[in-house]
């Protein structure tokens, strides 16, 4: 029989601002290395650069939301 458990694709993990900042530093370093590799022709998957940019943007958004004390859920309810 097929497995009937649902796999949560976008499971959100609550992280502290310090953890997010540490992850941001790692992602930015990865982006720099990917850009260098792309210029040298060593990068096998150039889509990695755009993926890293999007991940950095998500981390920055999470940091800004944490600093202001707002959550996305509350903001969406207020805007409707």
Per DSSP, the three-state class of 67 is helix
pLDDT per residue, tens digit, the chain (80 aa), is 455 555 555 556 778 899 999 999 999 999 999 999 999 999 889 999 999 999 999 999 999 998 888 766 555 556 55
* Reported pTM: 0.71
Fold assignment, 17-71:
Helix Hairpins (1.10.287)
Sign of CA dihedral 32, 10, 63, 58: positive
List the chain domain ranges.
Answer: 17-71
Residue 48: predicted pLDDT: 95
Residue 3: predicted pLDDT: 54
Residue 1: predicted pLDDT: 47
């Amino acid at each position: 029989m097929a497995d009937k458990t649902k796999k949560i694709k976008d499971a959100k993990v609550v992280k502290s601002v310090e953890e997010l900042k540490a992850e941001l530093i790692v992602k930015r370093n990865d982006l720099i290395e990917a850009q260098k590799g792309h210029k040298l022709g060593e990068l096998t998957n150039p889509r990695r650069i755009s993926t890293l940019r999007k991940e950095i943007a998500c981390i920055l958004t999470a940091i800004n939301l944490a600093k202001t004390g707002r959550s996305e859920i509350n903001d969406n309810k207020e805007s409707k």
